Chains A and B, each alone.
Chain A
Amino acid sequence: MSKFKLLKKEECVPNLHKFVVSVPDIARKVEPGQFVLIMVDEKSERIPFTLADWDEKDGTITFFVQEVGLSTTKMAFMEEKDSFYSIVGPLGEPAYVDNFGTVVLGGGCFGLGAIYSVAKKLKDLGNNIITILEAKNESRLYYEDEFRAFSDEVIFVTSDGSKGEKGHIYDVLEEMIVSQGRKIDHIKVIGCNVMMSKVSDVTKSLGNIPTYATVSTIMVDGTGMCGCCRLTYDGKTKFACVDGPEFDAHKINWDELIGIRNTSYIREESLSLQNFSPQCRSLAKILAKMNEEESI
């Protein structure tokens, strides 16, 4: 089955991989900010990934994968020319874009790559783009050159100060707004929920600067059918997969999202990761090859 073939895979920094997969129908239709749901094999969960880039001509889509649990580890073990069992998309509403003026884009972990398509689109619309890329240390930063091509300014921030500023995205933002008195019209962040919630707190307290976050929720169908991805937004229940995944960060009930909804399966997640024996795939391949040779 050559559906959903993995054409290119590259480990940009340890445990973070760039995937290029052939899905022409999605490449034709996707817009910045949309995501796909992926099943690695028949037994996999359905896991969401934001599309970072695509090429309509080649029919390919690109996304970044941070290894955190079972499915993402399975993906890390895939090799070029392997195929995914299922890729569904593009899902979710496209990111809110316009000519805002000066836009700050903040990306952390997989968000460094994920926010790329939005950056490109906003640049096309005539915005002044400031990109802030956050990582633990210098060795975890990637996609620098790509962002330089579309940003008027690229700022690095690392927890240990090994590259650029020391601290987090929200520290840089605070510095820019409070100390430097710079005017920012719009902020977008993609990354882990905790980072985004902190950015939201900062920008809210600094005069409600419009801030949009791409939330990470657990998902199943991605079409609004199950309600698993629900969050409280502006006092109402919303589904991240159809109403989002990008929301006005100031209206999200972050405590509920981070503390309750996304930690529903910690026990099961660690159990299934422990059960996973990474040799399986390579072993299976060798066995298949041996069988093949025998039959010849």
Chain B
Amino acid sequence: MKTKERMQILRSEMPCQPPEVRGKNFREVPYGYTEEMAIQEAQRCLNCKKPKCVEGCPVRVPIPEFITLIQEGKLFEAAKKIKEKNVLPAVCGRVCPQEVQCEELCIRGKKGEPVAIGHLERFVADYERLSGYISSPVTVKKNSKKIAIVGSGPSGLTTAGDLIKLGYEVTVFEAFHIGGGVLVYGIPEFRLPKSVVEYEIQNLENQGVKFVYDNVVGRIRTIDDLLSHDSFDAVYIGVGAGLPVFMNIPGENLKGVYSSNEYLTRSNLMKAYLFPDYDTPLVLGKNVVVVGGGNVAMDSARTALRLGADNVYIVYRRSREQMPARAEEIHHAEEEGIQFNLLSNPVEILGDEFGRINKVKCQRYKLGEPDKSGRARPIPIEGEYFELETDLIIISIGNNANPLITMTTSDLEVNKWGNIVTDEMGRTSKPFVYAGGDIVTGAATVISAMGAGRRAASAIHEDLFPEKDEEVDFITVPKEKLKIKEIAISPESPRLKIILSNVSDKPLDQVKVTITHVHDFFENALLETTISRWTPEEEHEFSCPRMQENEKEYLLSVKDINGKLFSKIIVVEEENK
């Protein structure tokens, strides 16, 4: 298909439950693309040489590659392609803020609508899941090291998935009785069906990850216990940001005032929306006020609507443009009839003689000079107040770091907000203890939590199997085993070719050859193969596509059953010799 033709295709609209219907049920709002819609949408992608979209993706999903596979109808391959970088595509396709990440930079967005990258990601992940595909146990050789992961949110799950593939024994400790973190107790069913999260956890279990539920680390076992008593070699802390912020205004402890954490946990995790079939109750409001402008506020508001509210108001102190929620959520909330009271903020909650709330007094705000975050600062307007009648208030103005773990762990450095301090790879101040996700960054996004999990997994691997071993290996086994015979790579060549030969007098077993791009943060392999037996003098040729023409440095690393043989940086020559 020619570019011109591609340019003429319009973006496929996501089919959704109509607002008047979905406002009364908890089923997922978008139905998802059909196969025809997905392929048509995929054809809009220009497969750019220098894909801008990838730069916008925090984990660098190979976007044009997977979209090209959809164009060719290779849907399983497309799913596999995404999973090279993103282990939870069905989740991210639904909850990532694509409009400020990949889709914001997509070239097609310059004139018209960007390619619906998120919808396509969701489509292929769903396609794979609904086909009944399940991962099989990882067959890599166990490396005899044990890792404990604290918290089963997106960051913990990512770390677990990466480490199990490297041969570690991985155990996830979770405070709640089911796994998934915010994905199950925060984000509602109508936005992210719980079956999607269950499936991902089932996959990890199939691969050999152990899950221990009902375990509040810090109480039942401390981080130090995990390292000593339970003899784990390393611990990853991915406990999220679970400490609700209240407003500290009069009336906040009256009946009918919830933190969004409590409201959503009761509804999602404890299934209060199915009360009285499930036992956990929830105050059902007729006039509901939700304070805040993020995803959490939108989720609370839309849950209250589905539980039968007549009026749901969002009260937010800045303007619409500054709302941190995903564009799609704001749009859906509006369609469903959520009413926005922007540039206003509660100052007092009033109640009746039984301690039940009946009104909230709000002050009006205007926008002033930009603050440190670059957003215009909201300024209260003297003397301008209004009141809303209400029987349920949900406060969604953010979360701080929960101190349970940091309080009970010696030598763990935290910043003044209580977030754990780490280096860029997730190493904390305590040896063999790593952290990532919301507990490090403060409340952020699913994808950034996953990126942190992945970096920590590679740091753990680096620290437990340090390069030093390799040097020792070299001294004790002076004889070279494998030699690079030829490297064929030049600026013009789109491929990299390497020939290796076994120069030792013994056969080598399970030789794993990996080529990665040196500057690729996630060290994702361009090539990864294993030669089960490599006899002396035998030669093997390896070839893989290059990342991009202007990328010159590649890392070749070779291991056999006994560990690392060598790793070498290969540089593309500037001039032909």
Chain B, Cβ-Cβ closest to A253: B253
A29 with B281: CB separation less than 8 A = no
Interchain CB contact under 8 A, B213 and A86: yes
For residue B402, CB closer than 8 A to chain A, the reply is yes
A220-B279 contact, Cβ under 8 Å, with A25-B220, A90-B220, A227-B259: no
- What's the nearest-Cβ distance from chain A to residue B302, in Å? 19
With the chains together, A263 CA to B259 CA distance in Å?
17
Q: Is A20 interfacial (CB-CB < 8 Å)?
A: no
B279 touches A228 (CB 8 A): no
Given the complex, which residues of A lie within 8 Å of B341, measured CB to CB? none
CB nearest neighbor in B for A225: B242
Asked whether, in the complex, the Cβ of B216 is within 8 Å of the Cβ of A223, the reply is yes
Chain B residues with Cβ under 8 A from A261's Cβ? 253, 255
Chain B: minimal CB distance from A65 (Å): 16
Q: Is the CB of B279 within 8 A of A71?
A: yes
Given contacts A90-B220, A220-B270, contact A225 B402 (CB under 8 A): yes
Q: Is the CB of A70 within 8 A of B221?
A: no
Of A109-117, A269-277, A281-289, the one contacting chain B is: A269-277
Interface size on B, residues (CB 8 A): 41
B216 cross-chain contacts in A, Cβ below 8 A: 88-89, 91, 222-223
- Chain B residues within 8 Å of A275, by CB: 276
Q: Are B244 and A226 in contact (CB under 8 A)?
A: yes
Instruction: Please determine whether A260 and B244 come into contact, CB atoms closer than 8 angstroms.
Output: no
Which chain B residues border A26 with CB–CB below 8 Å?
220
Partner of B266, one of A220, A237, A269: A220
Docked pose: A230 CA to B276 CA in angstroms:
25
Whether B278 is near chain A, meaning CB under 8 Å from some CB there, is yes
CB-defined contacts of A85 to chain B, threshold 8 Å = 177
| Residue among A87, A91, A232 having the largest count of chain B Cβ atoms under 10 Å | A91
CB proximity of A225 to chain B, nearest CB, Å = 4
CA distance A25 to B402 in the complex (A): 23
For the side of the interface on A, what is the size category?
35 or more
* A-chain residues with CB within 8 Å of residue B355 when the two chains form the complex: 256, 259-260, 263
Q: Smallest CB–CB gap between B311 and chain A, Å?
A: 21
Quick one: which of A245-296 are within 8 Å of B by CB? 256, 259-261, 263-265, 268-269, 271-272, 275
- Residues 8-32 of chain A, each 1 if its beta carbon lies under 8 Å from chain B, else 0: 0000000000000000011001000
Closest-CB distance, A70 to chain B (whole angstroms): 6
Q: Which residue of A lies closest to B277 (CB)?
A: A43
A209 within 8 A of B: no
Is B176 part of the contact surface with A, judged by Cβ < 8 Å? yes
- Cβ distance B247 to chain A, nearest Cβ, rounded Å: 11
Given A224-B402, A225-B402, A260-B255, also A88-B214 (CB < 8 A): yes
For residue A44, CB closer than 8 A to chain B, the reply is: yes
Contacting A at CB under 8 A, from B229-250, are 242-244, 246, 248
Please, how many angstroms separate the alpha-carbon atoms of A275 and B279 in the complex?
10
The residue that A87 contacts in the complex, of B214, B246, B262, with Cβ under 8 A, is B214
Contact A227 B244 (CB under 8 A): yes
Query: Does B265 lie within 8 Å of A268, measured CB to CB?
Result: no
Say if the beta carbon of B271 comes within 8 Å of chain A. yes
Interface flag for A46 (CB, 8 Å): yes
Given contacts A45-B280, A226-B259, A264-B255, contact A221 B176 (CB under 8 A): yes
A251 to chain B, nearest CB (A): 15
Q: How far is the CA of A87 from the CA of B216 in the complex (A)?
A: 11
- The answer to whether A224 touches B259, judged by C-beta atoms less than 8 angstroms apart, is no
Does chain A have a CB within 8 A of B344? no
A275 to B215 alpha-carbon distance, docked (Å): 31
**What 1/0 mask marks residues of chain A from 29 to 45 whose CB sits below 8 Å from any chain B CB?**
10000000001000111
A216 CB to closest chain B CB, in angstroms? 16
Q: Closest residue of chain A to B266, judged by CB?
A: A220
- B53-76 with Cβ < 8 A to chain A: none
A to B contact number (C-beta, < 8 Å): 113
In the complex, what distance in Å separates the CA atom of A46 from the CA atom of B176?
A: 10
Once the chains are docked, how many angstroms separate the CA of A258 from the CA of B369? Answer: 46
Check B246 against A227 for contact (C-beta < 8 Å). Answer: yes
Does B175 belong to the interface (CB within 8 Å)?
A: yes
Tell me whether A29 and B255 are in contact in the complex, defined as CB-CB below 8 angstroms, given that A237-B246, A242-B404, A272-B276 are known contacts.
no
Say whether B261 faces chain A, with CB atoms less than 8 Å apart: yes
B242 adjacent to A223 (CB under 8 Å) = yes
Is the beta-carbon distance between B270 and A45 smaller than 8 angstroms? yes
Q: Is the CB of A271 within 8 A of B255?
A: no
Q: Within 8 Å CB of A272, what residues of B?
A: 275-276, 279, 281
- B244 close to A225 (CB less than 8 A): yes
The answer to whether A256 and B261 touch across the interface, beta carbons within 8 angstroms, is no
B219 touches A29 (CB 8 A): yes
Interchain nearest-CB distance for B409 vs A (Å): 15
Q: How many angstroms between the C-alpha atoms of A22 and B40 in the bound complex?
A: 58
Contacts of B252 in A (CB 8 A): 237
Are B265 and A220 in contact, CB atoms less than 8 angstroms apart? yes
Instruction: Give chain A residues whose Cβ lies under 8 Å from the Cβ of B544.
Output: none
A222: nearest residue on chain B (CB-CB)? B216
Cα distance A231–B252 in the bound complex, in angstroms = 10
Q: Which residues of A contact B262 (CB under 8 A)?
A: 220, 226-228
B487 touches A (CB below 8 Å): no
The proximity string for B residues 173-199 relative to A, scoring 1 for CB distances below 8 Å and 0 otherwise, is 001110000000000000000000000
**Cα of A70 to Cα of B275 in the assembled complex, Å:** 13
- Distance in angstroms between the alpha carbons of A198 and B319 in the assembled complex: 49
Alpha-carbon distance between A39 and B356 when the two chains are bound, in angstroms: 28
Q: Does B254 contact A (CB under 8 A)?
A: yes
Measured in the bound complex, the distance between the Cα atoms of B280 and A39 in whole Å is 11
A91 to chain B, nearest CB (A): 6
Q: Give bound CA distance, A225 to B266, whole Å.
A: 12
A225-B265 in contact (CB<8A)? yes
B283 interface residue (CB < 8 Å to A):
yes
Decide: B219 and A263 in contact? CB cutoff 8 A: no
Kindly provide the distance from the CB of B260 to the nearest chain A CB, expressed in whole angstroms. Answer: 9
Residues of A within 8 A of B253 (CB): 230-232, 237, 256, 260-261
Give Cα distance in the complex from A232 to B246, angstroms. Answer: 13
> Once the chains bind, are A260 and B175 in contact (CB under 8 Å)?
no
Give the chain A neighbours of B280 by CB distance below 8 A.
Answer: 44-46, 220
Of B175, B213, B214, B261, the most chain A CB neighbours within 10 A belong to B214
- CB contacts (< 8 Å) of A225 on chain B: these are 242-244, 261, 265, 402
Give A244 to B246 CA distance when docked, in angstroms: 19
Chain B CB within 10 Å — which of A46, A227, A269 has the most?
A227
Least CB distance, A45 to chain B, in whole angstroms: 5
Known contacts A87-B214, A91-B216, A259-B355: does B177 contact A45 (CB below 8 Å)? no
Chain B residues closer than 8 Å to A230, beta-carbon distance? 246, 253
Could you tell me the distance between the alpha carbons of A29 and B216 in the complex, rounded to whole angstroms? 12
Q: How far is the CA of A70 from the CA of B220 in the complex (A)?
A: 28
Contact of B276 among A39, A226, A263, A271 (CB under 8 A): A271
CB-CB under 8 A from A88, the residues of chain B are: 175, 177, 214-216
CA gap between A275 and B402 in the complex, in Å:
37
Q: Nearest Cβ distance between residue B277 and chain A, in whole angstroms?
A: 7
A221 vs B266: C-alpha distance in the bound complex, in angstroms? 10
Of all chain B residues, the one with the shortest Cβ separation from A269 is B281
Give the 8 A-B residue pairs with the shortest CB-CB distance, closest first. Answer: A268-B281, A260-B355, A226-B262, A225-B242, A86-B177, A227-B259, A43-B278, A227-B244
Q: List 28 A-B contacts (CB under 8 A).
A: A26-B220, A29-B219, A43-B278, A46-B280, A85-B177, A86-B177, A90-B220, A220-B280, A221-B175, A221-B176, A223-B404, A224-B402, A224-B404, A225-B265, A225-B402, A226-B244, A226-B261, A226-B265, A227-B261, A228-B262, A237-B253, A256-B253, A261-B253, A263-B255, A265-B283, A268-B276, A272-B275, A275-B276
**Beyond known contacts A43-B277, A226-B262, A268-B275: 16 more, CB 8 A cutoff:** A25-B220, A39-B177, A71-B279, A88-B215, A221-B176, A223-B402, A224-B243, A224-B402, A225-B261, A225-B402, A230-B246, A232-B253, A264-B283, A265-B281, A271-B276, A275-B276
